[in-house]
Structure 1
Amino acid sequence: MYEYYLPIKHLHMTAVGLSITLFVIRAYWSVTGSGLLQHKLVRILPHVVDTVLLTCGMILAAMIGPNQPWILTKIVLLIAYIGVGTVAIKRGHTTRGRLTAALIAVLIFVYIIGVAITKDSGSWFSML
């Protein structure tokens, strides 16, 4: 099973890059009121990418094992990222609210990346 670790990890990391790229584009369109946000591909593709991302993440977590507190940190932060992200793209009532939510979501995402790289719940702060 571990012979699949690296290909799954690389697919996961590719999905991470696509996911944040699509999020930033969609958040920008949401803040600017662009009609492109309603395009069928724009509405479907992020869900496909995020499904791949989450599936690979769950497989990797199962491979690594349950005694890794940083994985729980990533899960909790992911839930926060999703919640704030929905405000940035759909649920924000004002332009300023959507922009603020988008910036917070990106900061949460950067923190999640730090947790993944350092394998520590302190993320980038653990490197200080």
Structure 2
Amino acid sequence: MIEFYPQIKALHIAMAVSSGALFAVRGAFALAGHRWPHSLAVRVLSWTIDTTLLTAALMLFTVLPRELFANGWLATKIVLLLGYIGLGAFALRRARGRRGQAAAYVAALAVFASIYSIARAHHPLGALYALFA
């Protein structure tokens, strides 16, 4: 399966960008008071993208050598992913009031940026690693 690594990685990156972009657009429009971000069609699209993203991630995990994950960057990404999911849920439907939704939305986008940074750097500090190296 290692021969499909480039395609799996490309799919994973495309789905990660799609997931983040869809969340950013949904959150912005939900904060503006629009109803379409909560429609079933948009939620199904989000679930489809996220399921594909997770499937590609699991495929990459099984293909790559275990030594690549020795410094903890993948574990950090997983922990941040759980935070991103929770903050996203608050931003789109659970937070009370616009101020709470806005705070959760901004925090979720910051966590997403951190996950992206960690993935690019393959280090738990992400882009901050350059400051401490």
Please indicate the TM-score interval, normalised by the length of the shorter structure.
over 0.9
Residue 77 of structure 2 is aligned with which of 74, 87, 94?
A: 74
Q: Runs of 4 or more off by more than 6 Å in structure 1?
A: none
- Compute the TM-score of the two structures, normalised by the length of structure 2: 0.91
What's the Cα RMSD here? 1.1
List runs of 5+ in structure 2 lacking aligned partners. none
Q: Following TM superposition, by how much is the alpha carbon of 1:72 offset from its aligned partner in structure 2, in angstroms?
A: 0.8
Q: Please point out which of 97, 103, 107 is paired with 1:104.
A: 107
Output the amino acid matched with 2:77. Answer: K
Aligned to 2:93: 90
* Length, aligned pairs only: 128
Task: Find the counterpart in structure 1 of residue 43 from structure 2.
Answer: 43
Is there any run of 5+ residues in structure 1 with no aligned partner, and where? none
SS at match of 1:121: coil
Residues 1:58 and 2:61 are matched in the alignment: no
Identity of aligned residues (%): 33
In 1, the alpha carbon distance for the partners of 2:66 and 2:97 equals 41
**Does the 8 Å CA contact 1:15/1:52 hold for their aligned counterparts?**
yes
State the AA in 1 paired with 2:46: P
1:122 is matched with which residue?
125
Q: Larger deviation: 52-61 or 32-41?
A: 32-41
